[in-house]
Amino acid sequence: MPARVSEALILRTYPLGEADLIVSFFTRDQGKLRGVARRARRPKSQFGASLERLAHVRVHYYQPEQRELVRLSSCELIQSQFELAASYATGVTLDYVAEVSEQLLPPGEQNERFFRLLLLVLEYLRRWRDAAVWPAVTYYTLWAVRLSGFLPQLRLSEQDQRIQELMLKRSLLEITPEGWSRSTGAD
C-alpha cells in the first residue's frame, strides 16, 4: 500500500455514511481518482476546507492494490476558491467547470494539459471576477472538448470563427473580458 503525495484539484464530494466523504479529485501526475476521506464531515475534521469544489490542494493518499478507491490521509490547501464562490456568477462557473471536468476526464489517466487548463481558468476568474465569466466558460469549453478528443468541425459565424482562432492561439490570460456577454461566441 504505497503512500503518494500529489498536487490535485477537488472535483466533487459525495457523502458516505455519517462522517465520511467520497472525494473525486484530479491529480497532476495520476489523473482523476476517487477516494475515501474518513471523518471528513465531522466538525473538527483534519480536512477542513481543503475538500471544497475546485480547491487546489496537495493530497496525501494510499492506493491499495486491486482497489478502485484510494484512502485520503490528509490534504494541504494550496489555493481556495472560496472568494470566487461568494459571487453567484463565478460560483455557477465553478460548478460548470467542475461538473464538465468530472464527466470528461477518464479515471486514472494523466493529463497535464487539462490540469494546466483548470489552473489557468481559475487564475483568470480570480483576476477578472464576474467580468470573466463568459470568456472563461467559452475558453474552458473549447479547450476541454479539444483536449478530450471530442472537438468536431464547427460551423460558426465569422465573428465566432475569429474568437475560436484567438482562443486556440493565445492564452486565456491574454484575452480581456471587456465587451463579452452571454451572446458572444453563442454559436
Helix extents (H) in 20-148 = 82-85, 88-104, 112-128, 133-147
Q: Considering 54, 79, 104, which residue would you say is the last residue of a domain? A: 79
Confidence of residue 182 (pLDDT cuts 50, 70, 90): low
Asked which of 19-28, 107-116, 172-181 is least confident by mean pLDDT, the reply is 172-181
Q: Are 94 and 110 members of one domain?
A: yes
Mean pLDDT over 78-91 rounds to 92
Average pLDDT, the chain: 89
Q: Say what the pTM is.
A: 0.89
Q: Considering 17, 49, 79, which residue would you say is the last residue of a domain? A: 79
Span 133-161, pLDDT tens digits: 999 999 999 999 999 988 777 788 888 88
CB atoms within 10 A of CB 161: 13
Q: Is the pLDDT of residue 186 over 70?
A: no
| Residue 48 belongs to some domain of the structure | yes
Q: Which three cell numbers stand for residue 175?
A: 484575452
Q: Considering 60, 79, 98, which residue would you say is the last residue of a domain? A: 79
| Residue 39 belongs to some domain of the structure | yes
| Residue 120 belongs to some domain of the structure | yes
| Residue 180 belongs to some domain of the structure | no
Q: What pLDDT score was predicted for residue 2?
A: 60
Span 17-42, pLDDT tens digits: 899 999 999 999 999 999 999 999 98
Q: Is the pLDDT of residue 1 over 70?
A: no
| Residue 149 belongs to some domain of the structure | yes
| Residue 178, CB-side half-sphere exposure with 13 Å CA sphere | 2
DSSP 49: G
CA distances from 32 to 117, 185, 186 (A): 15, 30, 30
Which residue range is the domain that position 18 belongs to?
3-79
The beta-strand segments (E) located in 17-113 are 20-27, 31-37, 56-62, 69-79
